[in-house]
């Protein structure tokens, strides 16, 4: 695992609370990985898990996991989470979406299921299941140009340098178009599979299934950056 020094808490620093949307999909692996990095990971199943009594976010960051994006969308609307999620993410809550979570975050779905909606907080177009069926899944290493790389630092000098992430693609979407202000962090076979726009990270793959911590460290670095701003 790529547990870097900057992911460890310093004395007196409280552990960030990271919510993992837990209506459907692969939740346990994200919870375990976040805990391994020193965060307090909690399941988000209701509005009260996401928002405090004052209406402010009850978590410091959020993960939307892989799963079935149209089912996730439907359950978010059924449980009244759709608009609260939109609001807190648009207000700046650091957020990571993996696979189906990327589809949920996107502004445009090229091939939505009947009635499927997305949160529209990440200015990209996605193609669902671009990498085919379960039998076409793959495990690969990808160049990564996020602020957190395998060098173990997220300072300004390293921000432009690429590392490598290990990724599992399982019926994965791809990013077919990006809007202004969207940074491409990784490609696979010339296809965009990881992006960042301000407080939102979206990736096509599953690092949590590979014991790959870099992307989750990137999310936690965004939390620290906000706390120090």
Show which residues are catalytic: 99, 206, 208
* SS3 of residue 8 by DSSP: coil
Q: Are 218 and 225 in contact (CB under 8 A)?
A: no
Instruction: Count Cβ atoms within 10 A of the Cβ of residue 73 and give its class: 0-12 exposed, 13-18 middle, 19 or more buried.
Output: buried
Query: Would you give the DSSP letter of residue 50?
Result: H
Give me the helix-helix angle, 82-90 and 69-78, nearest 10°. 100
With CA atoms as reference, report the closest residue to 147 among 139, 138, 156: 156
CA-to-CA separations, 39 to 64, 221, 225, in angstroms, rounded: 16, 11, 15
């Amino acid at each position: 695992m790529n547990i870097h020094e900057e992911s460890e808490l310093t004395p007196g620093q409280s552990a960030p609370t990271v919510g993992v949307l837990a209506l459907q999909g692969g939740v346990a692996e994200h919870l375990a990985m976040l805990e391994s990095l020193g965060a307090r990971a909690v399941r988000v199943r209701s509005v009260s898990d996401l928002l405090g009594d004052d209406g402010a976010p009850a978590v410091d960051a959020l993960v939307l996991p892989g799963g079935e994006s149209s089912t996730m969308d439907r359950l978010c609307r059924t449980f009244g989470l759709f608009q609260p999620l939109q609001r807190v993410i648009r207000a700046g809550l650091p957020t990571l979406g993996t696979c189906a979570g990327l589809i949920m975050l996107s502004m445009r779905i090229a091939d939505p299921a009947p009635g499927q909606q997305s949160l529209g907080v990440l200015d990209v177009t996605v193609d669902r299941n671009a990498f085919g069926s379960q039998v076409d899944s793959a495990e690969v290493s990808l160049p990564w140009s996020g602020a957190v790389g395998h060098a173990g630092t997220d300072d300004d000098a390293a921000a432009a340098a690429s590392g490598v992430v290990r990724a599992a693609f399982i019926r994965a979407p791809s990013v077919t178009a990006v809007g202004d202000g969207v940074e491409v962090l990784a490609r696979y076979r010339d296809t965009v599979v990881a992006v960042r726009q301000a407080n939102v990270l979206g990736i096509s793959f599953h690092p949590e299934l590979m014991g790959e911590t870099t992307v989750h460290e990137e999310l936690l670095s965004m939390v620290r950056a906000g706390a120090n701003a």
